[in-house]
A and B are shown apart, each in its own frame.
Chain A
Amino acid sequence: MNKKEVFKLAKGFRGRAKNCIRIARERVEKALQYSYRDRRNKKRDMRSLWIERINAGTRQHGVNYGNFMHGLMKENIQLNRKVLSELSMHEPHSFKALVDISRTAFPGNKKPVLASKKEGLAVVL
């Protein structure tokens, strides 16, 4: 890569990495290696993020992520994790319907664990 391109890519770097060609070239090459690697890693990272979101959504209805997905598999619902996480955030009612279907499909999910109210000491005394 020629100097001009390197400096263009080095915009916003810190210190001499944005001004001096030797250092800038080093840093730009390293940055491009990272971006090559992270385009691959992005797929796993996003998937784990979606799983976390689904888990958070289903636990509000008393089902954990694994049982929820197992119920969907049994019902042959092929929504992927990206869509499910979006539904859990933006379409809570549709997501609730999915959770209910999953719960009936997989008996392990049968009893919804209602969040037990924490009773303060005042109740005991």
Chain B
Amino acid sequence: MATLSLCASSLAAKSAAAPALSSTTPSMPLSQSQTVAFLCHSLSSLRLTTPCSKRGTPSSSFVPKYSETEAAAPSLTEPPETEIVESPVQQQPKKEEVFAVVMIGSRQYIVIPGRYIYTQRLKGAKENDKIILNKVLLVGTKTSTYIGKPVVPNAAVHAVVEEQLLDKKVIVFKYKKKKNYRRNIGHRQPITRIRIMGITGYEDSPAVTLP
């Protein structure tokens, strides 16, 4: 199958989420499978699949699906992404009014489906790769909140890598007075832009209902 679990950690959520994903893609040929070795141990909550362009439902283009998306993002990457991506898992959640707190590489982000976030560079991920973020710390919907201790079991955030890019240049100017020492170095941090496609799997965990 195209999903391979990386760096198996002790989280129960990961092992439970794997069969759920693989069952959704029964007709996928084996050719496109790929494993990505993340160097950083803290990225171990990611699992990554390459998009498979051979499957038959070309209609679901994910780009301008949500109205709150920022204008800059959708058209920057290459055009074929419109027919490549179809993930059956993203249809289940109610699209509106759900957010999650997800941990990516020891940083926590509040994610909302349809929007993009910049993360630290996800090594080995290519553009249009689908990634599944398993370390979901909190899911909030309009009526209830699912608080993970520390993670929400079985919850997953589905995302697509949109672009691997470099951040803006930072001038690193080191200077020591009276020692005739100065260094002027430019630095551009490699980052990754991912677009959140959906949040799944949180429904059957205990929730706190809200007024």
Contacts and interface: CB of A to CB of B under 8 A. Distances in A.
Dominant secondary structure at the B interface: strand
Nearest to B138: A79
A76 B150 CA distance: 6
A94 B210 contact: yes
Closest 5 CB pairs of A and B: A32-B173, A93-B210, A78-B150, A97-B208, A94-B145
B110 A86 contact: yes
Dominant secondary structure at the A interface: helix
Contacts of B99: 91
A29 B210 CA distance: 53
Contacts of B182: 29
Given A29-B173, A36-B172, A79-B138, A101 B147 contact: yes
A76 B149 contact: yes
Contacts of B173: 29, 32-33, 35-36
Interface size class of A (residues with CB under 8 A): 20 to 34
Interface string A1-42: 100000000000000000000000000010011011001000
A51 interface: no
B210 A83 contact: no
Contacts of A91: 99, 140
